Chains A and B, each alone.
Chain A
Amino acid sequence: MNSLVFVLPLLASQEAESTLQKIDREVTSIVEKVRPSVVQVTSVLLPNETLTLSGVIYSKDGYIVTDASGIEPAMEIQVVLGTTTLKAEHVASDRRTGIAVLRIDRVGLSPAAWCEKPGKAGAIAVVVGTPFGMRGGASTGTVSGYGRSIQVAGVRYDNMIQLSVPVQPGDCGGCVADSSGRLIGLVHSTYAPDPAEFEARSILPAFRRNPQDAAPVAGQTVSFGTPAEWVRFSADRIIKHGRMVRGWLGLSARPLDAAVRAQLGLDEGVGVELVRIEREGPAKTAALAPRDILVEYEGKPVKDLEALQWAVARVEEPKTVKIVFLRNRERREAELRVEIDPQK
């Protein structure tokens, strides 16, 4: 009877918790879980000029993953761990994913938990980073989509996660966590119109007819992250080899249009169209040409662009594979040598 006196108020209080309070509790627990794994990375460009970004602890023995473009020009890299500033070593970077691996002389770190499988669009996403140099800053939103391609500083990045989470300068390299507090990606970039561009557009209302045309173009609502599986792939390879080792064909491809596929008599989903062949590369050596339709790779039908990317990227030693492609509706077979990406 006495125990009921204590249990009943507790039950009553649990029933009284609203949905918003539950969400609040869940989100704060995610942030608390992720925060210890997020570090501040300071890239010293010149003695009086630094660049602040974020990083995520990858392993207990001192490996940290962060964004490559922020640390490439650095003459010295520092990692702020708690209240301690440590000098970090830049192990290597992957040009394709934009991931860099740092190493600090410290063990017993708390690495982030990793989400092995990509989630679905619409899932909750929590970003923990260093917005404007404020360590552990968190913001929430949703995952807007997967498999996006973006271009940053003239380089294209594929398979990116599109986020509706507000990210700020300094968040680059920060952790994007799911509702379980597991890392689903690293903050990469943001898509925000240039203020100058906005100013240029601001005279246009004189020529607008519909009110919706006057929607603000300023304000950041779209950000992008590197997906966890590719971060992990790059980090593992760099830690294993001391440099980025991945396969390379020297070509670009795009999905085949359904009408073209039907015209060529290909099965559902099979075939990718080559759109660009690099001047020097395995594809050029194999005499592949733009507009060729790649239908088989290593004896398997080519159905998914990302699956093909994985098949090529996983190569650690140069090897020769058999491919089947269509040129002018004629089926041809060739041998294609997968080289190691020169990372140029």
Chain B
Amino acid sequence: MGCDDMKDLLPLVAGGEARDDERQAVKDHVSHCAPCSRELDLFREARANLALLREGEVPAGTWKSIWSNVRADLFPPRISRSLFFFDLGLRYAAVLMVGLAVGVGSYVVTRPARVLPPSGGGAADPATFVSFQGQPAPIQPVTSAPVPLRAEVNQRPKFYAPRVKPDGSCYLPRVEAIPTGGERDY
């Protein structure tokens, strides 16, 4: 048997796990092979050192630390029914709050123009309203106090799309697109 065959047997012999014939073969080989003999000695030395380690004490708290880490995996906590519904309710409430916030925000930005009444508390001057519905508001000299800045910012004209449904029996095609580029067909 050569050195390559010995590499597998050396740790077994050092650990005392080899059969008798294997042990005899290793013994015969190391008697004339110095490298394998050195390697066998190293294996025996390592085993002796490992045996010494077994005799040491485990540091305090080691087992507790290991157990606390693996316990959640081994025994997952049971969620109570009430907790489950509470959690679900919280989620729905969060979605509702976001929706309300978007709706209120959109309304505030797009609401019709409003002019704050003068400081006297009376009705707003109709001449300062912007109206695009029906007859225009009568133009009157503004005698009220200066309009607060916020009102000017929010003074956005509101346009309404005419909800006219044309008579279906009368025909007028609608242009889909106005091509650019001046292309012509021949």
Q: How many residues of B contact A (CB 8 A)?
A: 30
Which residues 170-224 of A have a CB within 8 angstroms of B?
170-172, 187-192, 194-195, 198-199, 202-203, 205-206, 211, 214-216, 218-219, 222, 224
Asked if B167 is an interface residue, CB under 8 A from chain A, the answer is yes
Asked if A69 is an interface residue, CB under 8 A from chain B, the answer is yes
Which residues 107-135 of B have a CB within 8 angstroms of A?
109-110
Q: Which of B163, B169, B185 has the most CB of A within 10 A?
A: B185
Q: Please, which residues of chain B bring their CB within 8 A of the CB of A269? A: none
**Stretch from B54-62, B71-79, B140-148, B170-178 at the A interface:** B170-178
Interface string of B84-124 (1 = CB under 8 A from A): 00000000000000000000011001100000000000000
Contact status A190-B169, CB under 8 Å: no
Contact status A198-B161, CB under 8 Å: yes
Q: Which residue of B lies closest to A131 (CB)?
A: B170
From B110, B157, B169, contact of A50 by CB (8 A)? B169
Contact status A132-B186, CB under 8 Å: no
Which residues 137-163 of A have a CB within 8 angstroms of B?
148-154, 156, 158
Chain A residues touching B, majority SS: mixed
Q: Please, which residues of chain B bring their CB within 8 A of the CB of A148? A: 178
Complex CA gap A43/B169 in Å reads 9
Q: Please, which residues of chain B bring their CB within 8 A of the CB of A170? A: 167, 170-172
From B157, B161, B170, B175, contact of A133 by CB (8 A)? B170
Which residues 219-270 of A have a CB within 8 angstroms of B?
219, 222, 224, 248-255
How distant is A131 from chain B, measured CB to nearest CB, in Å? 8
Q: Please, which residues of chain A bring their CB within 8 A of the CB of B166? A: 132, 168-169
Complex CA gap A146/B7 in Å reads 98
Contact status A190-B175, CB under 8 Å: yes
Asked if A96 is an interface residue, CB under 8 A from chain B, the answer is yes
**Stretch from A1-9, A30-38, A118-126, A305-313 at the B interface:** A305-313
Q: How many residues of A contact B (CB 8 A)?
A: 66
Complex CA gap A252/B163 in Å reads 39
From A149, A153, A249, A305, contact of B173 by CB (8 A)? A153
Contact status B172-A169, CB under 8 Å: yes
Contact status A151-B177, CB under 8 Å: yes
Q: Please, which residues of chain B bring their CB within 8 A of the CB of A248? A: 186
Shortest beta-carbon contacts, A-B, top 9: A170-B170, A169-B170, A191-B175, A216-B159, A189-B173, A249-B186, A198-B161, A169-B172, A206-B109
- Which residues from chain A sit less than 8 Å from chain B, CB to CB? 43, 49-53, 67, 69-70, 96, 130-133, 148-154, 156, 158, 167-172, 187-192, 194-195, 198-199, 202-203, 205-206, 211, 214-216, 218-219, 222, 224, 248-255, 275-276, 305-306, 308-309, 312
- Which residues from chain B sit less than 8 Å from chain A, CB to CB? 105-106, 109-110, 156-157, 159-163, 166-167, 169-179, 181-186
Known interface pairs A149-B182, A203-B106; 9 further A-B residue pairs with C-beta atoms within 8 A, sorted by A's residue number:
A52-B169, A131-B170, A152-B173, A153-B176, A154-B176, A189-B172, A189-B175, A253-B183, A305-B184
8 CB < 8 A contacts A-B: A70-B173, A170-B170, A190-B175, A199-B161, A218-B160, A275-B183, A276-B183, A305-B184
